[in-house]
A and B are shown apart, each in its own frame.
Chain A
Amino acid sequence: MKIIAPIKRLIDHNVKVRVKADGSGVDLANVKMSMNPFDEIAVEEAIRLKEAGKADEVVVVSIGVKQAQETLRTALAMGADRAILVVAADDVHQDIEPLAVAKILKAVIDAEAPGLVIAGKQAIDNDMNATGQMLAALLGWGQATYASEVGIEGDHAVVTREVDGGLQTIKVKLPAIVTADLRLNEPRYASLPNIMKAKKKPLDEKTAADYGVDVTPRLEIVKTAEPAARSAGEMVGSVDELVSKLKEKGIV
């Protein structure tokens, strides 16, 4: 079975986000970019399934600017076998919406015929939490989102999902889409020899036009603003002082 893991290149989660002065978006020029943390988890899971003999090939796919090559190389260094870059933008500030990403991924999947797709639950830049579900819809496949445990049993996957009330386990027919939540696994770091080896692994380059997908956004960005700031209050010296402050405010 082949597994596809779609990965997104975006601002590193440790970088402090700055809104551009003209309100057009967030400043991404000269900031550290990394793989979406949820996608690292997805890639790790795919590699583990391969190591466990449940899969025989892991293909990673990224859609965006040319520099996403680096992100794909990181996934190859972790242990993915092959990468596909779909260039769909030339400015890092141009985000490709989940619907367009899902359409491109569908075209890739139609050609590659994987048995399983593991995506991240959400991209931590747009916080949409949509692509996996959209892709499942376009393919007419089942979906198991927010996975904290994935098992392959014959022609279906058994997936434990993190839901509002706790955990839910479902069985989904393969091929299917799984999206990774935080506790699915702890992604490995790529070792230096593996980083060297990754340079020789195949990385195919395509464009959105190759797949005939129109990536024009459906949502027009009117403005981007800083959130309302919350100012620091006061420090209290003791539990008693804290209690009397809260009583004064009438909240306890």
Chain B
Amino acid sequence: MAVLLLAEIAGGALALDATAKAVTAAKSLGDVTVLVAGPAAAGQAASQIDGVAKVVVADDAAYANGLAEPVADLVVSLAGNYEHIVAPSTASAKNILPRVAALLDVMVLSDVTAILDGSTFERPIYAGNAMQTVKSNDSKKLLTVRTTAFDAAGQGGSAAVEAIAAAGNAGLSAWVEDKVAASDRPELTSAKVVVSGGRGVGSEENFAIIEALADKLGAAVGASRAAVDSGFAPNDWQVGQTGKVVAPELYIAVGISGAIQHLAGMKDSKVIVAINKDEEAPIFQIADYGLVADLFDAVPDLTKALKE
């Protein structure tokens, strides 16, 4: 059985980690053809992922900014040959795949965490407060897979790469600009360590102490919704039900109370550390190590202690 995997493209290049994790999920369903709606170099990179049978590349200006309408039309134009269409659960794929599904008159499954067989999948609902197993009765199964639930496929593949024609652009939308903050830090969803700050951090300036600890640990920086809403941190740092889902080796939550919507995005982390001045904070109920302390003392101390 054949699987079409929509590669994640970010900043004009293959997002290797997200794509390689989706490959692991897709491999269990059949032979994987990766679709790159982007430059040839991204197609080359995808061909080296272990387990990829074939790569098709549609390199066209229409796809340069990942707009949903032309990319969805491209996927639909190829869909006939595949029983499964898979993508990593990124903002981009979640924008595109439901559109593809409706055009094919099938349902979509978002955030799949386990593949039980070709038509049975597990996914979290209610911010991860329940796990649902569903069986799809559709002729085609379209799913986005949670990248935290699958290990990245390795390198060493040498799949054939084929250029394919674009599928047109109805011009329903047009790109204006991207505001992407450049950062030397690891990417939030693939970082081994994440340090997150919440409302307790108090201001954008104070976030510097969170960032200093993160840099000491080579970590990515995350934030609660309250911290983002208050303007302490940019939107793409939000961890949670409606932000990013992370599962690093170590997650340090600082000045975060532990609302279920936040836990939904980090409770699968291997080791969780919580620093909060309120000993009743719900975050302590899921933390491996909890420290009741004022973050303005504890975080600089911790950063210093790690230096020694």
Measuring CB to CB, which residues of chain A are less than 8 angstroms from any residue of chain B? 11, 13, 16-17, 19, 25-26, 97-99, 102, 121-122, 124-138, 140-146, 148, 158, 162-173, 176, 181-183, 218-227, 230, 232-240, 242-243, 245-246, 249, 251-252
Measuring CB to CB, which residues of chain B are less than 8 angstroms from any residue of chain A? 10-11, 65, 67-69, 72, 90-92, 94-103, 105-111, 120, 123-138, 170-181, 189, 193, 217, 225, 228-229, 234-236, 241-242, 244, 249-250, 260-261, 267, 270-273, 284-293, 298, 301-302, 305-306
B125 touches A133 (CB 8 A): no
**Option from B10, B96, B102, B110 in Cβ contact (under 8 Å) with A99:** B102
| A and B contact pairs by CB, cutoff 8 A, 7 listed | A19-B130, A121-B242, A124-B241, A165-B181, A176-B173, A182-B242, A224-B131
A173 touches B180 (CB 8 A): no
Closest to B129 in A: A17
Q: In the docked arrangement, what's the CA distance between A168 and B178, Å?
A: 4
**Option from A167, A170, A236, A251 in Cβ contact (under 8 Å) with B67:** A170
A164-B91, A242-B273 known; A142-B69 Cβ under 8 A:
yes
Q: Chain A interface secondary structure, helix, strand, loop or mixed?
A: mixed
- Min CB distance, B295 to chain A, in Å? 11
Q: In the docked arrangement, what's the CA distance between A229 and B238, Å?
A: 23
A143 touches B69 (CB 8 A): yes
B131 touches A227 (CB 8 A): yes
B126 proximity list for chain A (CB < 8 A): 11, 17, 26, 124-125, 127
B172 touches A142 (CB 8 A): yes
A127 touches B131 (CB 8 A): no
A122 touches B242 (CB 8 A): yes
A218 touches B137 (CB 8 A): yes
Query: Which of B69, B178, B234, B242 has most A Cβ within 10 Å?
Result: B242
B306 touches A165 (CB 8 A): no
Q: In the docked arrangement, what's the CA distance between A129 and B137, Å?
A: 20
A166 touches B103 (CB 8 A): no
A124 touches B98 (CB 8 A): no
